[in-house]
Structure 1
Amino acid sequence: MASKGSVFLIGPGFIGLEILGKLLHEGYQVTTLVRREEARASIEKLGSRTILGTLDDGNLIRDNAAAADITIHAATADHQPSVDSVLNGIADRAKSGKSSIYIHTSGCSEITDNSNGEYVCDKIYTDDTPKDIDGVADNAPHRSIDLAILKRRKELGAKAKISIVFPPLIYGLGQQGRLSIQLPTMARFAIKHGYAGYVGKGKALWSHIHVSDLARGYMTILHYMESTAGVEVLQNPYFFIENGEEYSWERCAAEIGKALYKAGKIQDPKPKEITPDLYSYIFGDWSIPVVGQNARCRANRLRALGWKPSAKKTFDSLVEDELSILLAEKTDFAGYAAPVAS
């Protein structure tokens, strides 16, 4: 069997841990950036080397990106210094005649509209028509980072095989019992306030993906980049990963309401609109973009490469896998304050 390349993984969280497991299973030699000393043992037990640092440790990230054949950034879509450090490391490799693969995680908040949930938008983005994604407004969520990547990608040329991945709504039970962001946040809001809610008018649709299918999508993209000439990879930087499911935010709230009502946590399963004064208990100023607008996409490129979704559907996963963890949480939920990838 041919030897696998070395991988530098940034962000061993909900997405990154799932990718890490698949990388190690296939025999890649992985170095993972971890923020906390207490996290190192569990990552190393899986089989990855670790280095201790944060996204602001520019030289550390640059040096490890320069040393690795492959870098995967799965920590956040909105930290430009760490992305710049990765790209500087890739440039260092290029100067010494070495090629690189870089997979960056963006998110489908980038393709949201201004519907405020009042209607279903007919616009569906497809990753085999990159000009439509190129037409996204420069001030759209995550877009400034993606534009910086695209600029450096053009400068680096074929020595740097760079792709940008857009996860939609991610769901499912991840490694080490981790949960995703959007639906669990809505569920925690419902438990705290006694009703399942949605922001805006709830009619807008998002595409969905289970975290295990998402990680398999990353691996499919990686294998494509490994086997494809840099000149060809340069033709299109974008990949969506979705499973064909689209649900309105009102439907998501309704399913959360049914599950929590059955569990005895709320008295009425019927969902209703969350008033703006309570947005701090969802995503604050980002509530409408993250759980209110339309973001519809199709992973045509992945399907053409042979990838198919195989994991549980959204609401089966919610009831069978995620709900028990949410119900066991003891912390007083006060909204989601961290940067949101999607």
Structure 2
Amino acid sequence: MTKILLTGVTGYIGGAVLTRLAKRDDFDSFDIRCIVCSPEKAEKIKVLFKNVRPIVGSRSDSALMTEAASEVDVVIAMANCNDLDAATVILQGLKKRFEESGKPPIFINTSGTGVLIDDAAGMYATETIWDDTNPDQIETLKPSQPHRPVDLKIVGADAEGYVKTYIILPANIWGIAKGPLFDSGISHKQSVQIPILIRTSLDRGHAGMVGLGKNIWPNVEIRDVADLYNFLFDATLSPSANLGHGREGFYFCTNEEHTLYQVGEAISEAMLKMNKGKGGAPTKFTKDEIDKYFGGWDVLGSNSRCRANRCRALGWAPKNTTKDMLASIDAEIELVMGAAAASDKL
């Protein structure tokens, strides 16, 4: 029986991945454990999934994390992709597993295409496109880039030979996640980038953008993200799969591309329909607004362009497009406003 440890199942990606895994015909054949901070959510997970054992605790508890990782064949980490300490203790546990079994365990970690960002500040679209089948190109990324310290730690562990590592880098994820984990309040329903632009636009009364909004990001829908994790998980268990790992184990989880201007324009149109704005083109965020809403960081004005060639070679075929993403913004706004109204009643 394959033993699996999941982190981040109460989050957006983690909840979607567990929901997808639960649809597998062989789901009940796995011994699954998950790290959960909340005892209440742990009890709900027990009710939903008979073969999922919640471990109540924190990823910052090094003893707990090391022990949990040392007892499994596969770790799928979907929590904070910048938590170097958490990645380190997971690797310590997996090294112990290797020393006891003689077989390298599997570590599937979640990073993000934020590792590719530049300082365009919305003023231009870069021509640099990163390819996940080109490890030499990826190795030119500076260690100071977001997520990069964790990525390098994990790749280094693979090079030591005691673990096989695979890093999934989702793009701008969109879509409202659905399923029992989300309906019961265990996992988060929404992503980060589009909802924060929506909340900001509602607060300022008009859709906004960084600079001219010319910068480009790739996008991917949450169900397509979960499908990729499932494809990669299958491939890691297949003895016949010639699967890239370590320095060749970066998997860009992306489909089509969009500009920040397009997102701002769609938010503006949706706000007009809902009588929350006057419509028209998105306007440039002022420095004060970037300080207020984004902590002074204009990351939403960066470029992050890449191609998911390694992922598609697995058979992964994302279905949802940029057009679908822009059409989904109405529902995203309704959910944001509903959450705000509910919070005001508390």
User: Is TM-score (shorter-chain normalized) higher than 0.5?
Assistant: yes
Q: Which residue of 2 aligns with 1:326?
A: 336
Of 198, 201, 208 in structure 2, the residue corresponding to residue 197 of structure 1 is: 208
- 8 Å CA contact 2:235–2:243 kept in 1: the answer is no
Q: Which residue of 2 aligns with 1:111?
A: 116
1:108-257 equivalences under 5 Å are: 108-155=113-160, 157=161, 159-175=162-178, 176=182, 178-228=189-239, 233-234=245-246, 236-243=248-255, 245-257=256-268
Q: What CA deviation, in whole Å up to 9, does each residue of 1:226-247 have, x standing for no partner? A: 215799534612000112x211
Q: What CA deviation, in whole Å up to 9, does each residue of 1:68-124 have, x standing for no partner? A: 111011011111111001100110011111331111111111101121121111111
Q: What CA deviation, in whole Å up to 9, does each residue of 1:38-90 have, x standing for no partner? A: 22133223212101111201111111111111101101111111100110011
Q: Which residue of 2 aligns with 1:77?
A: 81
- Structure 1's 307 and 94: CA in aligned 2 closer, same or farther, altered over 3 A? same
- 8 Å CA contact 1:87–1:152 kept in 2: the answer is yes
Q: What CA deviation, in whole Å up to 9, does each residue of 1:149-208 have, x standing for no partner? A: 1222211x1x41111111110000114161110000000111111010112331000000
Root-mean-square deviation over aligned CA pairs = 2.0
- 8 Å CA contact 1:126–1:298 kept in 2: the answer is yes
- Structure 1's 332 and 201: CA in aligned 2 closer, same or farther, altered over 3 A? farther
- Structure 1's 179 and 90: CA in aligned 2 closer, same or farther, altered over 3 A? same
- 8 Å CA contact 2:252–2:308 kept in 1: the answer is yes
Q: Which residue of 2 aligns with 1:300?
A: 309
- Structure 1's 164 and 81: CA in aligned 2 closer, same or farther, altered over 3 A? same
Residue type of the alignment partner of 1:80: L
- 8 Å CA contact 1:73–1:104 kept in 2: the answer is yes
Q: Which residue of 1 aligns with 2:13?
A: 15
1:101 & 1:192 partners in 2: Cα distance? Answer: 44
Q: Which residue of 1 aligns with 2:186?
A: none
Q: Which residue of 2 aligns with 1:62?
A: 66
Q: Which residue of 1 aligns with 2:94?
A: 90
Q: Are 1:272 and 2:283 matched, yes or no?
A: yes
Q: Are 1:99 and 2:104 matched, yes or no?
A: yes
2:175 & 2:148 partners in 1: Cα distance? Answer: 26
Q: Which residue of 1 aligns with 2:40?
A: 38
The worse-fitting range, judged by mean Cα deviation, of 105-114 and 275-284 is: 275-284
Q: What CA deviation, in whole Å up to 9, does each residue of 1:8-66 have, x standing for no partner? A: 11111100001111222221332111111222133223212101111201111111111
Q: Which residue of 2 aligns with 1:340?
A: none
- Structure 1's 271 and 234: CA in aligned 2 closer, same or farther, altered over 3 A? closer
Question: Unmatched 5+ residue regions in structure 1?
Answer: 334-342
- 8 Å CA contact 1:240–1:297 kept in 2: the answer is yes
